[in-house]
Amino acid sequence: MNYNIDRKKPIPYYYQIQQQIIDAIENSEWKPDEFIPSERELSDKFKVSRITTRKALDNLMIEGYIKKIKGKGAVVAKPRVEEQLFNRLIGTYQDLKDKGFDIKNEILSFEVLKAEKNITKELNLSENEEVFRFERLRYIDEEPYHFSKTFIPKKICPNFDPKFLVDNSLIQVLEDKYDLKIYKLKRVLQANVATVEDSKLFKIKIGSPILTFFNTAYIKDGTAIEYTLNKIRGDMSKFEIEISLEKVEDMSHVINKKN
């Protein structure tokens, strides 16, 4: 890295610094978890004020290129996991598997119970019908990444065993074990921050970004066969969305109004 700023260009100094650091990271001059030069060192090397350098570093942190460690400095962040939420009718497990990540599923809980009112509504069940309820935590390269809480009608998937999910996706289990092929998926997304429980689960700070989304899966005749609450770490993720006239018939943006 040359630490040169072109002072004749009408481009803000902080932006030039930012782009040079990005280039260094993308060219593997600095690797994930490696400390970058301090704010003072960068200011001296680029011959700019610390305010200018700080703005560049703050932008890099927002964009996910670096992360700051209190009292120590800043390190290069690990590349974010890229997922495709809208344009592939597959689960997150298969999507990540296709990208070559080392994935481990941990079954946190499993039980049979009578469906609550909101679950009967989502799965179009009669009152007092039983469902399988199970919670899973997915690890990527040994880091907790994705929590899910799933409800499946017992009448549709008799003798469901959580062991099916240790090394497989739910979508694949439904297809292989019960001949249920998902034809349509309704997905509702919300941006949230980590609660105390999320902090313990994912080993992240309270208030860290969390993406929450709810899935309802249907087979071709319109029968709902799965309802799942998902939580994914925002600091490890970025999502790719492809939209075309052929793929999207209806997409709505709902803003929650304050009472």
Domains of the chain plus CATH, in order, are: 13-76 (1.10.10.10), 81-240 (3.40.1410.10)
Distance (Å, rounded) from C-alpha 212 to C-alpha 189?
6
Q: What percent of the chain has pLDDT over 70?
A: 83
Q: 100's torsion region: left (phi>0), alpha (psi -120 to 50) or beta?
A: left
| pLDDT reported for residue 68 | 83
Residue among 169, 166, 141 nearest 226 (CA):
169
User: CA 23, 15, 234, 97: dihedral to nearest 10 degrees?
Assistant: -20
d(CA 46, CA 83): 36
Determine the pLDDT at residue 258: 46
How far apart CA 198 and CA 149 sit, in angstroms, is 13
Question: For position 257, what pLDDT does the model report?
Answer: 47
Please provide residue 87's backbone torsions phi and psi, each rounded to the nearest 5 degrees.
Answer: -105, 10
The 10 Å Cβ neighbour count of residue 182 is: 19
Which residue numbers in the chain have pLDDT < 50?
Answer: 86, 248-249, 251-259
> Residue 84 belongs to what H/E stretch?
strand 81-84
Is-contact 206 199, C-beta < 8 A? yes
What is the model's pLDDT at position 237?
76
Query: How many helical (H) and strand (E) elements, i.e. helices and strands, does the chain have?
Result: 7, 10
In angstroms, the first-to-last Cα distance of the chain is 53
Give the pLDDT confidence score for residue 243 in this predicted structure: 64
